[in-house]
Amino acid sequence: MRVLAVASEMHPLVKTGGLADVVGALPAALKAQGVELVTLLPGYPAVLRAVAGAKAVKRYPDLFGAPARLLKAEGLLVLESHALFVRDGGLYGDATGTDWPDNLQRFAALASVAADIATGDRKAFRPDLVHLHDWQAALAAAYIRFGPADVPSILTIHNLAFQGRFDAAQFPLLGLPQEAFGIDGVEYYGGVGFLKAGLRFADAITTVSPTYAQEIRDPAFGMGLDGLLNERAGQLHGILNGIDTDEWNPATDRLIAARFSAGKLAARARNKRAVEQLFALQPGEGPIFCVVSRLTWQKGMDLLVDALDALVAMGGRLALLGSGDRAIEGAMLAAAARHPGRIGVRIGYDEAVSHQLQAGADAILVPSRTEPCGLTQMYGLRYGCVPVVARTGGLADTVIDANEAAVAAGVATGLLFDLVNAQSLRAVLQRAVDLHADADSWRAMQRAGMRADFSWGRSAARYAALYRSVLAARG
Ligand code: ADP
């Protein structure tokens, strides 16, 4: 089976978020499922550097106002358009964070070229199916629907918050027939909606966890798209992301003080001492909680601020690594100043420290208000760093709560809490402190988590099964 993936980011070439990790991991994982995946990317400078010397297989003399070429490299097709994709600044906006004024043209170009490839160009690629990722690729489903290509499409939502909305006056620029602009087309609340169009025309829709797939059908989570998502509920699937189990392997990790495994948990103690040193924490009996996160409202970090005095009063300690909202950063630093030796805070992004925290802390806190999938709780499970997480999205799908039955059966892997507010957060922290005091139960929880499988193989098998069922439905 041949699949054309279309995305704006792909690890390790270009990345601003989790989308890039998924797009980067799927080709190898799907190969093992008998799927040949070729990924179409915009020719950002970093992408062009990576495919230097690649052959042009197609030319577009006038693609949204400028000449463009399609370059072919190993597993990649790159849309080279200097006018659209080569510029200083971010992928989607300038250095100040203002969206590029021509984002409609930029990603309509990507989508229309995807639809063109889908017609089966001999030199480029002949896909059986196209797999679109997020709003930047979503409009391809509309170009396919109103064009000559006859292949099914799948759209994956990585983040419903980014929808690709534009003014209705720009609709004629897309080159789609007028009939495409309507409630059953690309029209979205009086404007143009790229993600909305994809959700309307794709043969199937996926998002990155089963619980999030349910949640986004609710107005509280649906961000304006819940109505359409409900209409298409029969074609909406949740497929959990995997993690890179080579990069995140406590038995081989070079970034941590002592390597360990489920059978050799005692070696973890050295990593705990390293965390104490790095975050200037006093040694103690109570658990060290850690946080590795963007410091934002979505992540529930404002609630954590309100629970910190209580956390310390319970005998817990906190090592926090993150950056984000200035107000939350300031409040975390203030808490560290109030509780020297009990709370340590590092503002910034640091890959090595993130590994060291997972390897040495007792528990990782993820009190998100929403979480499509989430990665840090899966890293925590793999490193014996017990996740204490809100029951939402992918967090709910990856952690088994330590209720009495689960503890007795030896299957608990972490702690879940409902109703994300300061009070429920304090309650779950107390529950974690109490459980941690029972060393045998805690160790059993660590081991159960370390046995769980979050490799990409499982996700890839589900994507491959979906590809097959979508193709079968087309006959
Ligand atoms: P989101 O994509 O919403 O930020 P995820 O949990 O899906 O949340 O992914 C976050 C990723 O970024 C994880 O790999 C996490 O380890 C990493 N990360 C977040 N903040 C930091 C930080 N301050 N330093 C190092 N890594 C971080």
Please report, in tens digits, the pLDDT of each residue of the chain (475 residues total): 999 999 999 999 998 888 998 999 999 999 999 999 999 999 999 999 999 999 999 999 999 999 999 999 999 999 999 999 999 999 999 989 899 999 999 999 999 999 999 999 889 899 999 999 999 999 999 999 999 999 999 999 998 999 999 999 999 999 999 999 999 999 999 999 999 999 999 999 999 999 999 999 999 999 999 999 999 999 999 999 999 999 999 999 999 999 999 999 999 999 999 999 999 999 999 999 999 999 999 999 999 999 999 999 999 999 999 999 999 999 999 999 999 999 999 999 899 999 999 999 999 999 999 999 999 999 999 999 999 999 999 999 999 999 999 999 999 999 999 988 999 999 999 999 999 999 999 999 999 999 999 999 999 999 999 999 999 998 7
Q: How many angstroms separate the alpha carbon of residue 168 from the centre of ligand 1?
A: 36
| Domain residue ranges in the chain | 2-242+456-474, 262-451
Contact 203, 152 (CB under 8 A): yes
Atom of ligand 1 nearest to the CA of 366: 6
Q: How many helices (H) and strands (E) does the chain have?
A: 20, 18
In the beta sheet, which residues pair with residue 156? 133, 206
Tell me if domain 2-242+456-474 and domain 262-451 are identical in fold.
yes
Note the Cα 398 to chain centre separation in Å: 14
What is the pLDDT, as a whole number, of residue 474?
87
Place of tokens 């699949």: 3
Pocket test for ligand 1, best of 349, 364, 369 (most atoms within 8 A of CB): 349
The CATH fold assigned to 262-451 is Rossmann fold (3.40.50)
User: Whose CA is closest to 289, among 415, 393, 401?
Assistant: 415
Pocket test for ligand 1, best of 23, 292, 398 (most atoms within 8 A of CB): 292
The CATH fold assigned to 2-242+456-474 is Rossmann fold (3.40.50)
Q: How far apart are CA 376 and CA 243, in angstroms?
A: 10
Pocket test for ligand 1, best of 375, 377, 378, 379 (most atoms within 8 A of CB): 375
What is the pLDDT, as a whole number, of residue 16?
86
Q: How many angstroms separate the alpha carbon of residue 107 from the centre of ligand 1?
A: 26
Q: How many angstroms separate the alpha carbon of residue 294 from the centre of ligand 1?
A: 7
Tell me how crowded residue 194 is: count the other CB atoms within 10 A of its CB.
29
Pairing of strands 363-366, 288-295: parallel
The token pair that represents 353 in the structure block: 């420290």
Which stretches within 77-217 are classed as H helix? Answer: 82-85, 103-117, 134-138, 140-145, 194-201, 210-215
Q: How many angstroms separate the alpha carbon of residue 304 from the centre of ligand 1?
A: 17
**Ligand 1: residues within 6 Å at CB?**
17-18, 292-294, 321-323, 349-351, 354, 374-376
